[in-house]
Amino acid sequence: VIPALWEAEAGGSRGQEIETILVNMVAEEWAQGTFKLNPNDEDIHTANERRLKVRPLQPHRFPGLPSLPRSQCHWKALPQPPPEPLLLFSHRECDVLFPGYTHLQRAQPIHWSHWILSHAVALTRDSERLLEVRKRIDVLPLGRWGLVGVAAGLTDELRRADFGAITLNSMDATSERDFVAEFLFWASLCMTHLSRMAEDLILYGTKEFSFVPFSACTSKKNPDSLELIRSKAGRVFGRCAGLLMTLKGLPSTYNKDLQEDKEAVFEVSDTMSAVLQVATGVISTLQIHRENMGQALSPDMLATDLAYYLVRKGMPFRQAHEASGKAVFMAETKGVALNQLSLQELQTISPLFLSDVNRVWDYGHSVEQYGALGGTARSSVDWQIHQVRALLRAQQA
């Protein structure tokens, strides 16, 4: 039924009615085994077409149907990426500090909420991108499928169908599968973001980090759900690459190779539906070990703050960065933590170090100094939450 639906040459409200009938009536007959085949049925397409002719369309039976372009019939139940649960979690844990990492090395202290928002922002882009894809594929192919088009012109009524545009060229419309590729692109990028988030959480749940208890979001204290999210990314990427390989060498107009698009879309759609539900569940039940996060903070992560201290005293950043490096080396040589260097020892590096340097060793002060929009200060985190929520509301409008 679905391949027949995919090839349906109808648009606007009439196209929606055909979609609804196929899904709700014909599909039900196939599922119940009551669909009666005819020896003259050439294939599943002609069988469904004959069935629809037997049961005429009745548009008045389908009020308020959503406006979905031709390739969106299989996406209606597709969940949206889950930035909203991330926002709720970010707001709940907005005062927790933990290490931010670069190269998997502890770099600087940040708010845990800042890390959560980094993934919420990416998933918000995915949610927005899906809406953009839906708009871009909102093109009516009616009357274009026969290579040269159809001899009978389209009526003004069909031209006014609620599609955003009409395909410009019959040959292009016959073989164009951009709408499939765009969906697979979107799914691949969304899976990239979900997989990276899952990988972070897998790492944070190991004993080496102990920031996240696996038992809170997975079974048997293993990151089962997170690993499954990560593993599905490869399947989605493969489907996207496979379609592009199919499309790249095809001659103009229709070739039977194009039937490969359907399996890719249906599998990826099912995969995304499952993964997004699992990801939402994981995020909604996520817990953290606040104490372990706090204990993971160390003075060496404040070396950059030491450089900024000298910058505020008037030293050029290049020189301040060098001075901070000397302080780190001195602390390592003496076998002490960076904050255990005395003021006299620091002043051998630069006379700009004064008694107020002690403020540098406060992790909260370190985080709050990055108050620019997008930074990790609490005011910036609150602003980010507000901005992401505003974007989500705009997408739902």
Which of 133-147, 225-239, 286-300, 326-340 is least confident? 133-147
pLDDT tier at 139, thresholds 50, 70, 90: confident
Which residue type sits at 285? Answer: T
**Domains contained in the chain, CATH given:** 2-67 (no CATH), 83-295 (1.20.200.10), 299-396 (1.10.40.30)
What is the model's pTM? Answer: 0.77
pLDDT at 175: 87
**91-127 pLDDT tens trace:** 777 889 999 999 999 999 999 999 999 999 999 999 8
In contact, 243 and 180? CB cutoff 8 Å: yes
In contact, 183 and 265? CB cutoff 8 Å: yes
Does pLDDT of 7 surpass 80?
Answer: no
In contact, 226 and 215? CB cutoff 8 Å: no
Which of 16-20, 49-53, 136-140, 240-244 is least confident? 16-20
What is the mean pLDDT of the segment spanning 64-88? 52
Percent of the chain with pLDDT over 90: 51
Of 139 and 316, the structure prediction assigns the larger pLDDT to 316
In contact, 344 and 354? CB cutoff 8 Å: no
In contact, 188 and 240? CB cutoff 8 Å: yes
What is the mean pLDDT of the segment spanning 355-375? 93
Does pLDDT of 8 surpass 50?
Answer: no
Closest-CA residue to 10 (of 157, 134, 151): 157
What is the mean pLDDT of the segment spanning 238-249? 95
Q: Residue 363 is encoded by which pair of tokens?
A: 């992790």
Does pLDDT of 67 surpass 70?
Answer: no
pLDDT at 75: 41
String of DSSP letters for 239-281: HHHHHHHHHHTPPSS--GGGGHHHHHHHHHHHHHHHHHHHHHH
Euclidean distance between CA atoms 285 and 86, whole angstroms? 11
Query: CB under 8 Å to 150, separation ≥6 — which residues?
Result: 143
If you average pLDDT over every residue of the chain, what do you get?
A: 82
